[in-house]
Amino acid sequence: MHEIVGNATFVAELLGPLSPFVDVAAVFLPLLGAALATLAGGLWGLPRNDRAAQTLTCLAMVASALASALIFADIAVEGGAARTHVLAPWIQVGALQSFWTLRLDALSSVMLMVVTGVSAMVHLYALGYMRHDRGIPRFMAYLSLFTFGMLMLVTADDLIQLFFGWEAVGVCSYLLIGFWYEKPRASAAAVKAFVVNRIGDFGFILGIFGCFALFRSVAFGSLFSAAPDLESATYALGGLDVPVLTVLCLLLFVGAMGKSAQLGLHVWLPDAMEGPTPVSALIHAATMVTAGVFMVARLSPLFEHAPGALAVVTVVGALTALFAGVVALAQTDIKRVIAYSTMSQLGYMFFAAGVAAYPAAIFHLMTHAFFKALLFLGAGAVIHALAGEQDLRRMGGLARKTPVTYVLMAIGSLALAGIGVPGVFGFAGFYSKDVILEAALAQGSGVGVFAYGVGVLVAGLTALYIGRLFVLTFHGKPRTDEAVFAHAHEASWVMLVPLVPLALGAVFAGFWGEASFVGEGRAAFWAGSLVTGGAGDPLSATHHLAPIWTLLPVAAGVGGLVVAFVVYGLFPRFPGWVAAHLGRVYVGVANAFCVDALYDAMFVRPLRALGMFCRETGDDRWIDGYGPPALARVALRWGQRVRTWQTGYIYHYVFAVVTGLVAALVFVWSTLSR
Amino acid sequence: MSSLPLLSLITFLPLAGALGLFAFVRGDDARARRVGIVRGLTLGTTLLTLAGSLALLPGFDPAAPGFQFVENVPWIPRLGLAYHRGVDGIGLAFLVLTAFLTPLSVLAGFSVKTRVKEFMIALLVLETLMLGTFSTLDLALFYVFFEGGLIPMFLMIGIWGGEGRRAAAFKFFLYTFAGSVLMLVAIIAMVAHTGTADMTQMTGGVFAGDLALVLWLAFFASFAVKTPLWPFHTWLPYAHVEAPTAGSMILAGVLLKMGGYGFIRISLQILPSASEVFAPLVIGLSVIAIIYGSLVALAQTDLKRLVAYSSVAHMGYVTLGIFSGTAQGLEGAMMVMLSHGLVSAALFACVGVVYDRVHTREIARFGGLASRVPRYAAVFMVFTLAAVGLPGLSGFVGEFLSLQGAYLYNPLVAALASLGVILGAVYMLGLYRRMFYGPLEKKDLMTLRDLTVREGVVFGALAVPTVWMGLFPAHFLAVFAPATDRLLNVSQTLAAGSIG
């Protein structure tokens, strides 16, 4: 079932015949952890043991991360052989053949490392963060189950298993957003997240159906090898010849838009902040929301042949980045600022993919996972320090109280803002964001230039909103209750230690990864697991850009930070003055352009009304009024005349039935023997 | 071939149990011991039936063409009627489903406190009739089994039902009976035409032209009501709301599948050319059923009605798949039926749990249950997710395949039908939220008891195949896929021949 060809790597020699077991363990240990935590939850008869649930899930998760590190070292670092383990058949009807599979190549090993690494840190962090919660086993079980779903997603070898992982992480996200289910806002947010994602899934499954109809297969390998020949295939749609692959890729992209909260299907992500902060860090920043980006990268051999779809991906990504960047500026909830920031950064990843710079998209996915998880967990430490306070307007001056958190958040903010000195050193986001912008410009298409322009603007906005968050949280005078502020304290070491590896990643991941992810070594690094030299080969073309274009984004970032510090640090009244004078515009931005209200009026209410209409008018008035029941009523009116026969005693009915039966038999018999 | 008439033994075992109860158990409900004996005997009988039906599996060869465990005894030779029994993979799948669900319904039926003996007799008689339906190859006999099930179900709703039981029972009876009259006429015509009631001799496309179309419509009337297909569905919510829990489980779990089974066994297999002609009609109605059923479910305030309408939507996937004319669609329809058999039975059992405790089905009367009854909440969540078609649970496989088949038939149809995937999440998760999330405020809910061991057994037994079917559907597909493939090949050849 599994093959080892190519380089005999150090890891491969170290593990020898154990290698397949390590591969399987990396993916399935979190599932085991989840199962054990469920048992420890005391729901099914065993005594409840919170400590056991925590220990077992964390051990399983750390072990999974170690196994993933080995796989990553083997495949991505040392260039070991990609491999596919077929575990069992899943859905198989005719040509539709889906297997439970672990596909391990450079792309999935990068994702494996990111997912298990961040997940392990979040598991450990949750030991401290959730210490006083009543539902610890449930929480740990969901967290581990989520990780398993994510791993199944990234190791899928066909569209249907990809969809399995997709839905598995979706349902875990639902369960975790609604973890504090007694809060009505949390449960509403949970349902909203699931339903909005389902709207995306609607596109996704239609894309799968269409792929099967076109390719007669759902396996990635078959799709990729057949795609070039089908580039010119078209659907006749209302007199127009629409390229099939573009339609299918757009349908699949609708799924990605839902999962990755792109403009239009983004409304669930800010509300998802009702979930516990470790959940926000793991699911709604570092991993699940990036699944859409992963999908496009994984299917890059397909998207390559759908130029129309790529253009849409670029534009949607750029607009999302801008929209979220603007909205983030006016949020007062610390977690919502970071949530919109995530949405904005996902926009960057998508337009990277849209301009066919898939490696850059995954590079930013990786660096973003580090610094965004760091920012979220840091925000969790802040919230913890202030006894649950999440409103930026009631923070301030925390730098003295929580110096470690301050430093960690500073690192995360600098990485997000993309600060660095070109040619010397920069924080992680510096490398990954710059390469995206350069690729967009270098690709030379109209949408590429548009994306570049928007991207530079958003780079400035990013620095501005994260600078604002940072200043409002840590600098200035404390605006919270004196009692709360007096008790503000640094988080315990169990919450701070997991932040250290994330901070290291936020500092060094870009510097360390640039050459192999997006630089000269990229073709060897990715080894065909995604398209490295896509249409126009934008990553190679970046070398021909004039230096001014490569300096502009970092200048915007520095400028944004400076403005933030000046405005929010030196003139704390100025923002309030701006908000007051912008009036409705400000309110609109703060309410994310009222998309929620719009959807409520456009979809939610009409749907409810339609439901009531079908129920009251459709069923009760029309079908029951004029349909079969009306005929029955006519019959019943006739029946009234013989009503006296209906006594309500079962014996009478049985008697009547038996008599009738006997009469019928006698009749049949007599006709036969005639 | 086995010398023992296995199918007959399995089929009539419950009837024998019913006769035993009728003849030997005396006294009234006031005597706890007598109630215990009645329940024990019924449960034992149904478990023995289950064992018997499972014992068929090792001896069954899915790859072998035709029917197996055949018994063929002349009954009325002059009319070509015979006691002709046998199963292929399709029939066997439903046979096992029936035998599996009945003991669980009996367990759920322990909450019936009045006329316990008569209730159990009705349940046992019903089981015999259902088992017979899925394993009969003679049309006349099929009619007897198919329509016979009406009577015990009618009595279960009418006697052990809720407050509006009478109206509901009559609505149920009139609807299904109206359909069945037309079916009876069609069967008589078929027997007159061919001189035999043997289904296996009618599969060669013996009916053609207008005759086939008329026959098809007559059968359609019966199956469309049974399934139920929009707009013949309005009896279902009434019947479900009033039926006792055990009755609802059987009704949703097995009786509705008789419609789908009939569509496959008779419409598709005996009247393939007419099925081809009418496929657009059925597919149109199926799409309406999915969307409309979901919308109405969305507008429900009664827990049981909501689940009932979700059945209407799910059955839409069944007819959609069957008439898509593709292997994916047909096998998907089978998987939807098996999955829905488990999941809807479980959901109705879930409704029964709270109804037994607080005697209301009004969704607004609940709220915040998760903190009070975590086990019940967990169980309800599992089956809710199965109902919304979460991959990894049973609902997904069938829905996915059925929609894939619809896409191959016509992408636009699939696009419309796939809206059900969104709407399903809206009404099921909305229901879950209203019942389980939020603060626990109602006084009478604060003392609510979590699942008992008996209830736990029912849900555990239903959860195992729900997960199994979701993760390893191949084990289930293997039983019936060869039969559906053959059926599809034959019917497509015939349909192509009759047109070309």
Q: Would you say residue B387 lies in a domain?
A: yes
Lowest mean pLDDT among A269-278, B19-28, B247-256: B19-28
Q: Is the pLDDT of residue B434 over 60?
A: yes
Q: A191 to chain B: which residues are within 8 Å by CB?
A: 429-430, 433
- Mutation target to probe the B interface, by most B beta carbons within 10 A, among A48, A86, A91, A652 is A91
Give the pLDDT of residue B294.
Answer: 95
Task: Name the residue facing B392 among A94, A168, A627 (closest C-beta).
Answer: A168
The answer to whether residues B242 and B157 touch, using CB atoms and an 8 Å cutoff, is yes
> CA A520 → CA A119, A432, A532, A540, distances in Å?
30, 15, 11, 9
| Inter-chain residue contact B298 with A187, CB threshold 8 Å | no
What average pLDDT does range A458-469 have in this prediction?
Answer: 96
Within 62-81 of B, beta carbons closer than 8 Å to A belong to 76, 78-79
A661 or A440, which is more confident: A440
Tell whether B481 lies on the interface with A, counting CB pairs under 8 A: yes
Number of residues assigned to chain B? 500
Q: B400 to chain A: which residues are within 8 Å by CB?
A: 91, 160, 205
Q: Would you say residue B156 lies in a domain?
A: no
What average pLDDT does range A225-238 have in this prediction?
Answer: 86
| Inter-chain residue contact B174 with A88, CB threshold 8 Å | no
Q: B439 to chain A: which residues are within 8 Å by CB?
A: 182, 184
| Inter-chain residue contact A164 with B392, CB threshold 8 Å | yes
Structure tokens at B386: 């199965």
What average pLDDT does range A310-327 have in this prediction?
Answer: 96
Fill in the amino acid letter for B225.
V
What total number of domains does chain B contain? 1
Task: Name the residue facing B473 among A44, A91, A184 (closest C-beta).
Answer: A91
Give the pLDDT of residue B323.
Answer: 96
| Inter-chain residue contact B300 with A615, CB threshold 8 Å | yes
Q: Would you say residue B164 lies in a domain?
A: no
Confidence of residue B165 (pLDDT cuts 50, 70, 90): confident
A139 or A640, which is more confident: A139
A184 Cα to chain B: minimum distance (Å): 5
Give the pLDDT of residue B490.
Answer: 78
A157-166, A549-558, B71-80: which is most confident:
A157-166
The answer to whether residues A437 and A453 touch, using CB atoms and an 8 Å cutoff, is no
| Residue B433, domain extent | 293-500
Tell whether A180 lies on the interface with B, counting CB pairs under 8 A: no
Give the pLDDT of residue A419.
Answer: 94
| Inter-chain residue contact A190 with B433, CB threshold 8 Å | yes
Q: Is the pLDDT of residue A481 over 50?
A: yes
- With b for 16 or more beta-carbon neighbours within 10 A and e for fewer, the A535-547 pattern comes to ebbbbebbeeeee
Confidence of residue B499 (pLDDT cuts 50, 70, 90): very low
A175 or A578, which is more confident: A175
Give the pLDDT of residue A636.
Answer: 65
Tell whether B288 lies on the interface with A, counting CB pairs under 8 A: no
Confidence of residue A7 (pLDDT cuts 50, 70, 90): low
* Percent of chain B scoring above 70 in pLDDT: 97
B98 Cα to chain A: minimum distance (Å): 24
What residue of A is the nearest CA neighbor of B437? A181
A306 phi, psi to nearest 5 deg: -130, 70
Which 3 state secondary structure label does DSSP give A90? Answer: strand
Structure tokens at B228: 């139920």
Confidence of residue A564 (pLDDT cuts 50, 70, 90): very high
Confidence of residue A451 (pLDDT cuts 50, 70, 90): very high
Q: Using CA atoms, how far apart are residues B386 and B394, in angstroms rounded to an integer?
A: 6
Lowest mean pLDDT among A65-69, A287-291, A658-662: A658-662
Within 336-355 of B, beta carbons closer than 8 Å to A belong to none
Tell whether B431 lies on the interface with A, counting CB pairs under 8 A: no
Task: Name the residue facing B371 among A182, A618, A632 (closest C-beta).
Answer: A182
Q: Would you say residue B338 lies in a domain?
A: yes
Q: Is the pLDDT of residue B413 over 90?
A: yes
Q: B231 to chain A: which residues are within 8 Å by CB?
A: 623, 627
Q: Is the pLDDT of residue A218 over 80?
A: yes
Residues pairing with B341 in the sheet: none
Fill in the amino acid letter for B318.
V
Q: Would you say residue B28 lies in a domain?
A: no
| Inter-chain residue contact A206 with B171, CB threshold 8 Å | no
Task: Name the residue facing B390 among A167, A195, A208 (closest C-beta).
Answer: A167
Q: B175 to chain A: which residues are within 8 Å by CB?
A: 628-629, 632
At B56-75, the pLDDT tens digits run: 999 999 988 889 999 999 88
Tell whether B234 lies on the interface with A, counting CB pairs under 8 A: yes
Give the pLDDT of residue A2.
Answer: 43
Within 192-231 of B, beta carbons closer than 8 Å to A belong to 231
| Inter-chain residue contact A209 with B411, CB threshold 8 Å | yes
Q: What is the mean pLDDT of chain A?
A: 90
3-class DSSP string for chain B = CCCCCHHHHHHHHHHHHHHHHHHHCCCCCCCHHHHHHHHHHHHHHHHHHHHHHHHHHHHCCCCCCCCEEEEEEEEEHHHCEEEEEEECHHHHHHHHHHHHHHHHHHHHHHHCCCCHHHHHHHHHHHHHHHHHHHCECEHHHHHHHHHHCHHHHHHHHHHHCCCCHHHHHHHHHHHHHHHHHHHHHHHHHHHHHHCCCEHHHCCCCCCCHHHHHHHHHHHHHHHHHHCCCCCCCCHHHHHHHHCCHHHHHHHHHHHHHHHHHHHHHHHHHHCHHHHHHHHHHHHHHHHHHHHHHHHHHHCCCEHHHHHHHHHHHHHHHHHHHHCCCCHHHHHHHHHHHHHHHHHHHHHHHHHHHHHHHHCCCEHHHCCCHHHHCHHHHHHHHHHHHHHCCCECEHHHHHHHHHHHHHHHHCHHHHHHHHHHHHHHHHHHHHHHHHHHCCCCCCHHHCCCCCCCHHHHHHHHHHHHHHHHHHHCCHHHHHHHHHHHHHHHHHHHHHHHHHHC
Give the pLDDT of residue A660.
Answer: 66
Tell whether A587 lies on the interface with B, counting CB pairs under 8 A: no
At B143-161, the pLDDT tens digits run: 999 999 888 998 999 899 8
Q: What is the mean pLDDT of chain B?
A: 91
Q: Is the pLDDT of residue B125 over 50?
A: yes
Tell whether B404 lies on the interface with A, counting CB pairs under 8 A: yes
What average pLDDT does range B23-29 have in this prediction?
Answer: 73
What average pLDDT does range A461-468 have in this prediction?
Answer: 96
| Inter-chain residue contact B421 with A627, CB threshold 8 Å | no
Q: Is the pLDDT of residue A133 over 60?
A: yes
Q: B422 to chain A: which residues are within 8 Å by CB?
A: 195, 198-199, 201-202
Tell whether B482 lies on the interface with A, counting CB pairs under 8 A: no
Give the pLDDT of residue A653.
Answer: 65
Q: Would you say residue B335 lies in a domain?
A: yes
| Inter-chain residue contact A187 with B438, CB threshold 8 Å | yes
Tell whether B276 lies on the interface with A, counting CB pairs under 8 A: no
Q: Is the pLDDT of residue B49 over 50?
A: yes
What residue of B is the nearest CA neighbor of A163? B391
B208 or B457, which is more confident: B457
Tell whether A174 lies on the interface with B, counting CB pairs under 8 A: yes
B136 phi, psi to nearest 5 deg: -115, 140
At A334-377, the pLDDT tens digits run: 999 999 999 999 999 999 999 999 999 999 999 999 999 999 99
Q: Is the pLDDT of residue A33 over 80?
A: yes
Q: If you count residue pairs, one on A and one on B, with CB atoms under 8 Å apart, how many are there?
A: 168
Q: Would you say residue B97 lies in a domain?
A: no
Q: B414 to chain A: which residues are within 8 Å by CB?
A: 206, 209
Tell whether B33 lies on the interface with A, counting CB pairs under 8 A: no
Within 77-96 of A, beta carbons closer than 8 Å to B belong to 88-94, 96
What average pLDDT does range B368-374 have in this prediction?
Answer: 92
At A48-105, the pLDDT tens digits run: 899 999 999 999 999 999 999 999 999 999 888 999 999 999 999 999 999 999 999 9
Confidence of residue B278 (pLDDT cuts 50, 70, 90): very high
| Inter-chain residue contact A93 with B76, CB threshold 8 Å | no
- Mutation target to probe the A interface, by most A beta carbons within 10 A, among B114, B154, B174 is B174
What average pLDDT does range A445-468 have in this prediction?
Answer: 95
A409 Cα to chain B: minimum distance (Å): 34
At A376-404, the pLDDT tens digits run: 999 999 999 998 899 998 998 899 999 99
| Inter-chain residue contact B415 with A206, CB threshold 8 Å | yes
Lowest mean pLDDT among A91-105, A165-179, A565-579: A565-579
B2 Cα to chain A: minimum distance (Å): 31
Q: Would you say residue B344 lies in a domain?
A: yes
Task: Identify the CA nearest to A373 among candidates A415, A417, A314, A406.
Answer: A415
Confidence of residue B1 (pLDDT cuts 50, 70, 90): very low
What average pLDDT does range B473-480 have in this prediction?
Answer: 94
The percent helix, strand, coil of chain A (3-state, each to 5) is 75, 5, 20
Q: Is the pLDDT of residue A237 over 80?
A: no
Tell whether B292 lies on the interface with A, counting CB pairs under 8 A: yes
Give the pLDDT of residue A628.
Answer: 66
